[in-house]
Amino acid sequence: MGEVYRAEEVELGRTVALKLLPRQLAEDQRFRDRFLRESRLAAGLNHPHIIPVYRAGEADGVLFIAMHYVDGTDLRRLLKQHPEGFDPDRALTILEQVADALDAAHTAGLIHRDVKPGNVLIVEGGRRDHSTRLWALFMLELWHRAFVDDGGAAALARAEEAGAVAV
């Protein structure tokens, strides 16, 4: 849901990943409020394996989020390029880094509800201990589903009652 662009944040002169959500989502006040609130919470995460959120808001009736730009590929594409699999050490490193990122989010009371290879970004040639980055706001698609699907809304309500914010 939405489109991601490589863009320049003019004020600071840095490259960002800019995600624009479908216009109709900004028309849903409940969705907009949750999006802005949870964007602020996700922006508070500071972890080497979670992509930093720089800014979120609404411009000209479109919700957006600007994040650190990762010059790499996602794990889904990497798996397609290597159908024979990865070296066990590399696979374990990726798994450890994703688990570490999820643990940091959980410690902050945030629950990632859409862990999948497309949301794990890999920086080729990066330092072994900082080569994997997890989208901090990959939950946007699930937010939309939660408002359309009663089961998702119920799951969100249960997570919020337990003191966690679903991301």
Task: Give per-residue burial for 53-83: e unless 16+ CB within 10 Å, then b.
Answer: bbebeeeeeebbbbbbbbebebbeebeeeee
The residue-averaged pLDDT of 16-22 equals: 90
Q: What is the pLDDT of residue 1?
A: 66
Q: What is the pLDDT of residue 149?
A: 40
114 is catalytic: yes
Of the candidates 28, 74, 100, 114, the residue annotated as catalytic is: 114
Note the pLDDT tens digit of each residue in 21-30.
888 888 889 8
Q: Name the CATH topology of 3-166.
A: Transferase(Phosphotransferase); domain 1 (1.10.510)
Q: Among 9-13, 131-135, 141-145, whose mean pLDDT is lowest?
A: 141-145
Structure confidence at residue 167 as a pLDDT band (50, 70, 90): very low
Kindly tell me if the per-residue pLDDT of 6 is higher than 90. Answer: yes
Note the pLDDT tens digit of each residue in 40-60.
888 888 888 888 899 999 999
Overall pTM > 0.85? no
The residue-averaged pLDDT of 91-116 equals: 84
Copy the structure tokens of residue 74.
Answer: 């996602």
Residues linked to residue 122 through DSSP beta bridges, in sequence order: 73, 132
Kindly tell me if the per-residue pLDDT of 156 is higher than 80. Answer: no
